[in-house]
Chains A and B, each alone.
Chain A
Amino acid sequence: MSDFLLELRSEEIPARMQAGARAELEKLFRREMDAAGVETGEITVWSTPRRLALIARGLPEATEAVSEELKGPPVGAPDQALDGFCRKAGVEKGDLETRDVKGRATYFAVKNIPGRATKDLLAEAIPAIIRDFSWPKSMRWGAASISTESLRWVRPLSGIVALLGDDVVECEVHGVTSGSVTLGHRFHHSGDITIGNSDDYAMKLRAGHVIVDHEERQDLIRSGAAKVASEAGLKLVEDEGLVIENAGLTEWPVPLLGRFEEDFLEVPPETIQLTARVNQKYFVCEDEAGELANAFICTANIEAEDGGARLVDGNRKVLAARLSDARFFWDVDRKKTLAEHAKGLERITFHEKLGTVADKVERVAKLARWLVEEGVVKGTDPDMAEQAARLAKADLVTEMVGEFPELQGLMGGYYARAEGLPDAVADAIRDHYKPVGQGDEVPTAPVTVAVSLADKLDTLTGFFRMGEKPTGSKDPFALRRAAIAVLALTQQNSLRLSVVRPFEVVRETLHAQLPGAHLTANRDFGGAQVDYRALELLDFLADRLKVQQREAGVRHDLIDAVFALGGEDDLVRLLARVKALQSFMDTEDGANLLAGYKRAANILKKEDWHGAEGEIARTGEEDPLALVDDPDMKAVIDAKMNERHAKELSYTPEPAEKALMDALATSEPAASQAIEAEDFSGAMAALASLRAPIDRFFDEVTVNADEENKRAHRLDLLAAFRAAVHKVADFSRIEG
């Protein structure tokens, strides 16, 4: 047993790619070892900016010999068959063995594959790993790149250390040959470092000022940054992303604290933190009161001779220059009101088919107002919602957001407060982009909810109206995210929102803004005529709902079953109904009722029976007699109706048949009424009362009776049962 060490040295690997590269190295190594039949023990992978390393424990010296037998044709088979077999198996005819298989002499090819030295296998595996390595972006370099076939790596690959035990695994990849020599820290160590084996690798590198274990470097940064902060009487603002990034930028990390001028603290703390983080990769600190302090922590890659004083001062200057910019933007931006800034939105195209951002703001303002006026969003007045919506995007044309797009919304909130707008308006401007993706905080303040919801509905409506639906992995306008936000906002705030109506509100404004031919093609939706694109949007939201609810344990087939009834575009109500259905389906009554339903549906399908109720259900037509509303005719119609009932009952129904008829007569209207009153568990209870009668019916009654009138009536009865169940959900969509 030996341990194996592989180090692939290169010029600086981007910090953000290192975690993926470690996983890729381990994956490819395992793939190669599996293919070669080498069992490996524990595998460790490390990375620094300049190297990827892998250590595999307990590799055997060689693989075991394997004997492989292949069964061929029987003795006496045609020559062609025998030749074909030999070719496939790679053996000579004379080497075949003959064995008895169930009394028949049969040819066998026996191949003995000798074991191979692990070292040889590794020498083949290393070039394969390097060639197959997948980087997010890779490049060619050097003289060899005169051909585009030359090796690709994330940055030039400069060295390979490959040791099995104490021995070099010799291999060569595009001119880079393996050995036992590596390099230490770029500045703290000159000359080569010769590695003995995997056991002294980390230690020798440490002597060369390289901490090869990325997790150790992360720990050093985490604890070192906290330490220098507390030494200055401050508290580090923890930032795990920065810890990992700085560990990916250093081989010998040294956190150092510096101070910037206190005057800069007058700009919003988020801008300082963002400048420090994004542009400079610095941590920031808080004072005892939890306020941002005038300090930064940079992570150097050297142990500077002067303790880092000069280095910190250099970093301070760079940060100061950036903060000067931020302060300049803050001052300039506040010279105008948000309303004045908002005029600039006319110059920004939102989308060529949806006009400018100013056009969008106009639509969002109208819709936000409508949402409050219609009572969808309660607890605020329409004027305030409209005002917030009109100012919500104004910060997009400020200098600060131009420099830091991440601060959109947040800066608008600051500027709104600075000019004395109400807090509810400032909060709405600040938070109206939320929720951004799943898990983000969902707004609950009414003005914010109105603006956020209007913004997302406008985006969805606009893009669906012009047919820009997301397909597959393509979702350039982040419509899925907008849809998830709509779901979260309505659910969190229990908003009763029909999706079709806001679609129409937005469409109307859009048509006024961008005159031209506007095709409107309607489709039936629960009896109403609705723009088919609104229904596509509804389907899209329903799909998102399924994905969202799957994680919460709600069955997607049940969502389908309720959605398939049509006419439902209130997603909160839809979900309540689905949840009641799911509870019901978890009961014994529910499971049995489903079984009864499937049986009934199968019989009706087999008999191709639509029946009286079925016809009505299919065509949507009412009983023509019931429509006649003439007092003079009443007697005649009553007589006709009685005659019809009499005809239906032209024989004495069996007890089980009668019981089902009676049950339907009460539970069908009860289910309808409960649905009407949004009492979904009541509707389920009404359905549950059908379970015993339907079971009994199937036990005791023969549907396909010889008498035609009995058969017809019983099929009608099953159709009526099916129709009653469909008042609650389309059970044919339910699985199981």
Chain B
Amino acid sequence: MDRNPQKSFQDMILALHDFWSAHGCLILQPYDMRMGAGTFHTATTLRALGPEPWNAAFVQPCRRPTDGRYGENPNRLQHYYQYQVILKPSPPDIQDLYLESLRVIGIDPLKHDIRFVEDDWESPTLGAWGLGWEVWCDGMEVTQFTYFQQMGGFDCKPVAGELTYGLERLAMYIQGVDNVYDLDFNGQGVTYGDVFLENEKQMSKWNFEVAETDALFDLFNKAEAECKNALSANVPIAAYEQAVEASHIFNLLQARGVISVQERASYMGRVRDLARGSCEAHMEKEAPVWAEKYPEWSK
């Protein structure tokens, strides 16, 4: 079947799937939890730890409650998609592969100005950082490109390369559309707005105005407690899920404007402790197996 990534949002995604699948990636599905970025997917965070090779690609819906604009802003959404590729260890031709993937979805680098502009990435919440670039296409940031150096406070051994494509932005660019809701979703006239506009309106209202804040505070505390409970039972993946949950609840509380500047740092610290604790537990649990299989890793 012919793909038409230049006219169809879903074909663009499928073209990326085809491309990365052909280059040895597992095509995974989104993580079934609310999260702020594709990096939170365990296929990225937890798999960035340890010595085992790991190549995966997936779409991850992202929730950024404070970015909601009730469907009135042509660029900002509280729910959007990221396309994540994680390649561990980072292959020597990772930049060429990435550029090839742009050609596949219709961006010709002899017509468009593609640039790698310094942009280092850091997530204090995940105890993670890396060096890399934001990739510009005619001055627009279309991808975050990062070589992970640390995750959960641990050195990445070996280093993974992470590519995060902003799908709506890319599609708007390729389709030549100025408003995200005008994107052609399927190449047959169904628009992004048909699918998501009502969702954006309702969710913006809920995020900013409706969500019961006492219940949210309660959820945050429960997620925190459950994370610790899971940690004590030595099920770090379950603990990590609770950290992701707490992170999202915190974002909702922010959108509701009930966390003061002073409290903010303290909440972020609590989320960070959960995420790091989960990563640490994951490392501890797996380390003996990894060390046996990859003797050079533990050096």
Where the two chains meet, the residues of A that have a C-beta atom closer than 8 Å to any C-beta of B are 11-12, 14-16, 49, 137-149, 154-156, 158, 186-188, 249, 280, 282, 298, 300-302, 304-306, 310-311, 313-315, 317-319, 321, 347-349
Residues of A within 8 A of B133 (CB): 12
Q: Contacts A187-B110, A306-B111, A315-B139 given: A143-B158 contact, CB under 8 Å?
A: yes
Q: In the bound complex, what is the Cα–Cα distance between A146 and B298 (angstroms)?
A: 9
Residues of B124-150 at the interface with A, using a CB-CB cut-off of 8 Å, are: 130-133, 137-140, 147, 149
> Chain B residue with minimal CB distance to A356?
B261
Could you tell me if A311 and B159 are in contact, using CB atoms closer than 8 angstroms?
A: no
Could you tell me if B120 and A145 are in contact, using CB atoms closer than 8 angstroms?
A: no
Could you tell me if B173 and A249 are in contact, using CB atoms closer than 8 angstroms?
A: no
Chain B proximity of A18: nearest CB distance (Å): 11
Could you tell me if B261 and A311 are in contact, using CB atoms closer than 8 angstroms?
A: no
- 3 closest Cβ contacts across the A-B interface? A314-B138, A14-B118, A12-B116
Could you tell me if A301 and B113 are in contact, using CB atoms closer than 8 angstroms?
A: yes
Query: Looking at the complex, which of B84-92, B182-190, B210-218 is the stretch in contact with chain A?
Result: B84-92
> Chain A residue with minimal CB distance to B265?
A349
CB within 8 A of A145: which of B117, B156, B260? B156
Residues of A within 8 A of B158 (CB): 140, 142-146
Extra A-B contacts (17), CB below 8 Å, given A147-B296, A311-B138, A317-B178: A11-B95, A11-B116, A12-B117, A16-B118, A142-B89, A145-B158, A147-B157, A147-B297, A149-B299, A155-B132, A156-B92, A187-B109, A301-B113, A302-B109, A304-B111, A305-B110, A305-B111
Residues of A within 8 A of B173 (CB): 314
> Chain A residue with minimal CB distance to B112?
A311
* Best-buried of A146, A280, A311, A318 by chain B (most CB within 10 Å): A146
Q: In the bound complex, what is the Cα–Cα distance between A14 and B157 (angstroms)?
A: 24
> Chain A residue with minimal CB distance to B92?
A142
Could you tell me if B159 and A141 are in contact, using CB atoms closer than 8 angstroms?
A: yes
Could you tell me if A146 and B51 are in contact, using CB atoms closer than 8 angstroms?
A: yes
Could you tell me if B109 and A145 are in contact, using CB atoms closer than 8 angstroms?
A: no
Interface presence of B11 (CB below 8 A):
no
Q: In the bound complex, what is the Cα–Cα distance between A146 and B297 (angstroms)?
A: 6
Query: 9 A-B residue contacts at CB 8 Å?
Result: A137-B120, A140-B147, A141-B147, A156-B90, A188-B110, A302-B109, A314-B113, A314-B139, A347-B260
Interface presence of B239 (CB below 8 A):
no
Chain B proximity of A439: nearest CB distance (Å): 28
Could you tell me if A137 and B131 are in contact, using CB atoms closer than 8 angstroms?
A: yes
Chain B proximity of A169: nearest CB distance (Å): 23
Q: In the bound complex, what is the Cα–Cα distance between A222 and B113 (angstroms)?
A: 20
Could you tell me if A139 and B111 are in contact, using CB atoms closer than 8 angstroms?
A: no
Residues of B within 8 A of A305 (CB): 110-111
> Chain B residue with minimal CB distance to A315?
B139
Interface presence of B123 (CB below 8 A):
no
> Chain A residue with minimal CB distance to B51?
A146
Could you tell me if A302 and B110 are in contact, using CB atoms closer than 8 angstroms?
A: yes
CB within 8 A of A318: which of B90, B138, B261? B138
Residues of B91-122 at the interface with A, using a CB-CB cut-off of 8 Å, are: 91-92, 95, 99, 109-118, 120
Could you tell me if A304 and B110 are in contact, using CB atoms closer than 8 angstroms?
A: yes
CB within 8 A of B112: which of A141, A143, A249, A314? A314
Q: In the bound complex, what is the Cα–Cα distance between A245 and B235 (angstroms)?
A: 49
Could you tell me if A249 and B296 are in contact, using CB atoms closer than 8 angstroms?
A: no
Interface presence of B202 (CB below 8 A):
no
Could you tell me if A347 and B261 are in contact, using CB atoms closer than 8 angstroms?
A: yes
Chain B proximity of A693: nearest CB distance (Å): 69
Residues of B within 8 A of A186 (CB): 99, 109, 114
Residues of A within 8 A of B196 (CB): none
CB within 8 A of B118: which of A15, A139, A148, A348? A15
Could you tell me if A311 and B111 are in contact, using CB atoms closer than 8 angstroms?
A: yes
Q: In the bound complex, what is the Cα–Cα distance between A317 and B74 (angstroms)?
A: 12
Interface presence of B75 (CB below 8 A):
yes
> Chain B residue with minimal CB distance to A11?
B95
Count of residues in B whose CB is under 8 Å from the partner chain: 45
Interface presence of B262 (CB below 8 A):
yes
Residues of B within 8 A of A318 (CB): 138-140
> Chain B residue with minimal CB distance to A248?
B118
Q: In the bound complex, what is the Cα–Cα distance between A304 and B137 (angstroms)?
A: 13
> Chain B residue with minimal CB distance to A146?
B158
Residues of B within 8 A of A188 (CB): 110
> Chain B residue with minimal CB distance to A302?
B113
> Chain B residue with minimal CB distance to A154?
B131
Residues of B7-58 at the interface with A, using a CB-CB cut-off of 8 Å, are: 51
Interface presence of B155 (CB below 8 A):
yes
Chain A proximity of B122: nearest CB distance (Å): 11
Q: In the bound complex, what is the Cα–Cα distance between A149 and B197 (angstroms)?
A: 51
Q: Contacts A139-B149, A304-B111, A347-B260 given: A146-B138 contact, CB under 8 Å?
A: no
Could you tell me if A314 and B299 are in contact, using CB atoms closer than 8 angstroms?
A: no
Q: In the bound complex, what is the Cα–Cα distance between A282 and B139 (angstroms)?
A: 9
> Chain A residue with minimal CB distance to B120?
A137
Residues of B within 8 A of A49 (CB): 116
Q: In the bound complex, what is the Cα–Cα distance between A652 and B120 (angstroms)?
A: 87
> Chain A residue with minimal CB distance to B74?
A321
Q: In the bound complex, what is the Cα–Cα distance between A302 and B130 (angstroms)?
A: 28
CB within 8 A of A304: which of B113, B117, B131, B296? B113
CB within 8 A of A349: which of B51, B262, B296, B299? B262
Chain A proximity of B290: nearest CB distance (Å): 10
Residues of A within 8 A of B130 (CB): 139
Residues of A within 8 A of B155 (CB): 148
Chain A proximity of B131: nearest CB distance (Å): 4
Q: In the bound complex, what is the Cα–Cα distance between A733 and B118 (angstroms)?
A: 52
Residues of A within 8 A of B297 (CB): 146-147
Residues of A within 8 A of B149 (CB): 139-140
Could you tell me if B294 and A280 are in contact, using CB atoms closer than 8 angstroms?
A: no
Chain B proximity of A193: nearest CB distance (Å): 17
> Chain A residue with minimal CB distance to B113?
A300
Residues of B within 8 A of A314 (CB): 112-113, 137-140, 173
Residues of B within 8 A of A142 (CB): 89-92, 158-159
Q: In the bound complex, what is the Cα–Cα distance between A482 and B140 (angstroms)?
A: 39
Could you tell me if B115 and A348 are in contact, using CB atoms closer than 8 angstroms?
A: no
Could you tell me if B147 and A139 are in contact, using CB atoms closer than 8 angstroms?
A: yes
> Chain B residue with minimal CB distance to A17?
B118
CB within 8 A of A158: which of B92, B147, B260? B92
Could you tell me if B260 and A187 are in contact, using CB atoms closer than 8 angstroms?
A: no
Could you tell me if B294 and A146 are in contact, using CB atoms closer than 8 angstroms?
A: yes
Residues of A within 8 A of B120 (CB): 137
Q: In the bound complex, what is the Cα–Cα distance between A313 and B178 (angstroms)?
A: 12
Q: In the bound complex, what is the Cα–Cα distance between A310 and B109 (angstroms)?
A: 12
> Chain B residue with minimal CB distance to A279?
B139
Could you tell me if B296 and A146 are in contact, using CB atoms closer than 8 angstroms?
A: yes
Residues of A within 8 A of B110 (CB): 187-188, 302, 304-305
Residues of B within 8 A of A146 (CB): 51, 89, 157-158, 294, 296-297
Q: In the bound complex, what is the Cα–Cα distance between A144 and B299 (angstroms)?
A: 13
> Chain A residue with minimal CB distance to B173?
A314
Could you tell me if A249 and B117 are in contact, using CB atoms closer than 8 angstroms?
A: yes
Chain A proximity of B175: nearest CB distance (Å): 12
Chain A proximity of B143: nearest CB distance (Å): 13
Q: In the bound complex, what is the Cα–Cα distance between A702 and B142 (angstroms)?
A: 91
> Chain B residue with minimal CB distance to A314?
B138
Chain A proximity of B76: nearest CB distance (Å): 10
Q: In the bound complex, what is the Cα–Cα distance between A723 and B72 (angstroms)?
A: 81
Residues of A within 8 A of B131 (CB): 137-139, 154-155
Q: In the bound complex, what is the Cα–Cα distance between A140 and B296 (angstroms)?
A: 16
Chain B proximity of A312: nearest CB distance (Å): 8
> Chain A residue with minimal CB distance to B99?
A186
* Best-buried of B116, B262, B294 by chain A (most CB within 10 Å): B116
Q: In the bound complex, what is the Cα–Cα distance between A189 and B139 (angstroms)?
A: 22
Could you tell me if A143 and B117 are in contact, using CB atoms closer than 8 angstroms?
A: no
Residues of B within 8 A of A348 (CB): 261
Chain A proximity of B169: nearest CB distance (Å): 10
Could you tell me if A249 and B111 are in contact, using CB atoms closer than 8 angstroms?
A: no
CB within 8 A of B139: which of A14, A143, A144, A280? A280
Could you tell me if A301 and B261 are in contact, using CB atoms closer than 8 angstroms?
A: no
Could you tell me if A148 and B113 are in contact, using CB atoms closer than 8 angstroms?
A: no
Q: In the bound complex, what is the Cα–Cα distance between A144 and B262 (angstroms)?
A: 43
